[in-house]
Structure 1
Amino acid sequence: MAAIESTSRTLVSRTQLNRPVGKAVYWTTFVVLVLLFALAFLFPFYWMVTGGLKSPQELIQVPPTLVPAHPQVSNYHTAWSDADLGRLLWNTTFYAAGALLFQLAFDIGAAYAFSKLRPVFGNVFMFGMLSTMMIPTTVLALPAYLTANSLPFVHWSLLNTPWVIWLPSVASNAFSILLLKRFFDSIPAELLAAASIDGAGPMRALWSVILPMSRPILGVVSIFAVVNVWKDFLWPLLTLTNTSAQTVNIGLNQLSVGLPLNILIAALAIASVPTIVFFLIFQRNIMSGLTAGSLKG
């Protein structure tokens, strides 16, 4: 173990780190960088939260105040009621949950087929699917809208329905399939062979062997699915014109004209809480899922 540590290459050698001066410089630099990055990421959120506590006059004051002089907590209650945030958050949560379920079902099936079942022309289909990632989303907006407005053959309109969010989210999810396939590739074939000897078919092997081992990458895919629906703006703006069906981004965008600036900022702060909580709960799955499957041992 000592030999491995002595031959490992790092920015700061173990000898320099053991010296008092080297240790002080290392930890000082480390703490300063962590504080700077934390400030860069947390200050915008702090500014938004405190902006919702200010009065309209204090909000536009020059120079701006870092701490509200007279915090108005009632701004958040006003934002919740006037912006109808309960309905907007429920709509967005419903769309995100449905997109998550559909993406997990289809993406897991596609990745499992590409990785373990090896269908005929599988590499060709995989290449074609990944090539769609090179096409900008805005280029596909018009044909996707025309398709959603009148489905081929049946001529059904999906506008102002949850399907207009769920189906496109599944169709444009090549990256998640790639992540799942890479992880499935790292699972030893001997485990599936042992399951086959025990009488497990492909579906049973997927359910009993593959999925229990894939929790980290499933967490990453879930985060991507929920966040992509939650932050999307252009597609819901085009397809969810009915007020009762709008997401939180579209609803706040349309209400921004009539709401005071401090109430709007308070509404934005409330709308950002679910994604932050969701990220904090599943943050451990991000790095573990993205790095899982990169090495085979």
Structure 2
Amino acid sequence: MPASARTLVRPAVLRTRRGRLVYWSVLAVSLALFTAAFIVPLYWAATGAVKAPDELARTPPTYVPQEWHPENYARAWREMDLGRYFLNTVVLAGGAWLVQLAVQVPAAYALSKLRPRFGRVVLALMLVTLMMPVTALLVPVYLTVVDVPLFNRNLINSPSAVWLPAAANAFNIYILKNFFDRIPDDLLDAARMDGAGALTTLARVVLPLSRPILAVVSILSIVTAWKDFLWPLLVIPDPARQPLSVFLQRVAPDTPLNILMAGLVLASLPLIALFLVFQRQIVGGLTAGGLKG
């Protein structure tokens, strides 16, 4: 049997009745467990938000609300002024996404196709940051944001304090570089023969071929910025400018639990919708191994 056709379960085993029974049983149980791990928390939050406060605090809990109060979602939106904090989150996540693409795509292209001197050293230093715990980088990055080198600017309470550190994402640069490495050099050479420079080749040849991986990087960037809590808490102390993740934690002690859960559900809906709409692009980008034709 060729190496490309090998699997964890031999075809001879799958041809037996016992082998098929065991295989499909294990597969069904695994899928059920993974589905429950993702669906149960969402169900618990969505149903908890429509319960009355006393029912939500009841022990043992009720798995189906005895009384439905869908108006809790409207109350959460109105009483917690979620519109303002949704806008703050959109500004932070959208800006972080644009800044990351503007920095990471040219960086990955340069490391992959322009091959500068000491490019491997630069890439190795970037990858070293992936081995460091995030908390170890908080202090130096915070000091950098408080007093930006060369510009002597304090970015505290500014969206730039979130946007600029987000651009230094070694993981995104690494996966972009790996994708760019698989683009045939003949295409780039043909563009250069037609008089295209490095930027023109990037814009007209590389980027159109890189839509799947750009979609993956974009979604990862938006999701990371949307749900980030610790960094916005540090660099945006002004309550009026904070994103949803920080705001909901700040008001949690003084908010009824069912209203708070309704706010949490509303805050998570954009990410769920984003995944449902772009799930094909996510899978396609992560499994893209090369180019055809």
TM-score range, shorter chain: over 0.9
Amino acid at match of 1:191: L
CA distance in 2, matches of 1:200, 1:153: 34
Match of 1:34 in 2: 31
Match of 2:210 in 1: 214
The answer on 1:155 being equivalent to 2:152 is yes
Q: Retained in 2: the 8 A contact 1:52–1:263? A: yes
TM-fit CA distance, 1:72: 0.7
**TM-score with structure 2 length normalisation?**
0.92
Matched residue of 1:257: which SS?
A: helix
Equivalent residues, number: 293
CA distance in 1, matches of 2:146, 2:11: 64
The answer on 1:77 being equivalent to 2:69 is no
The answer on 1:272 being equivalent to 2:259 is no
Matched residue of 2:67: which SS?
A: coil
TM-fit CA distance, 1:42: 0.4
The answer on 1:109 being equivalent to 2:109 is no
TM-fit CA distance, 1:19: 5.0
| Residues 147-198 of structure 1: per-residue CA shift (max 9 Å, x gap) | 222323443221111111111111x311111111111011111111122222
Q: Retained in 1: the 8 A contact 2:46–2:261? A: yes
Q: Retained in 2: the 8 A contact 1:100–1:226? A: yes
Amino acid at match of 2:170: A
Match of 2:42 in 1: 45
Q: Retained in 1: the 8 A contact 2:130–2:170? A: yes
1:116–1:89 Cα change, 3 Å:
same
How much identity, in percent, do the aligned residues show? 49
Match of 1:204 in 2: 200
1:160-175 maps to which residues of 2 (within 5 A)? 160-170=157-167, 172-175=168-171
Match of 2:235 in 1: 239
1:22–1:138 Cα change, 3 Å:
closer
Which has the larger displacement, 146-155 or 182-191? 146-155
Amino acid at match of 2:200: R
TM-fit CA distance, 1:296: 9.8
Structure 1 residue runs without a partner (length 5+): none
Structure 2 residue runs without a partner (length 5+): none
CA distance in 2, matches of 1:204, 1:142: 39
Give the CA RMSD over aligned residues: 2.2
Match of 1:54 in 2: 51
CA distance in 2, matches of 1:185, 1:153: 34
CA distance in 1, matches of 2:17, 2:144: 67
Amino acid at match of 1:120: R
- Alignment match of 1:281 (pick from 271, 277, 283): 277
CA distance in 2, matches of 1:180, 1:154: 30
**TM-score with structure 1 length normalisation?**
0.91
CA distance in 1, matches of 2:15, 2:260: 53
| Residues 34-68 of structure 1: per-residue CA shift (max 9 Å, x gap) | 22221121001100100101111111111111100
TM-fit CA distance, 1:21: 5.5
The answer on 1:259 being equivalent to 2:241 is no
- Alignment match of 2:128 (pick from 123, 127, 131): 131
- Alignment match of 1:95 (pick from 78, 92, 96): 92
Amino acid at match of 1:175: F
- Alignment match of 1:188 (pick from 184, 190, 193): 184
TM-fit CA distance, 1:224: 1.5
Matched residue of 1:72: which SS?
A: coil
Q: Retained in 2: the 8 A contact 1:149–1:156? A: yes
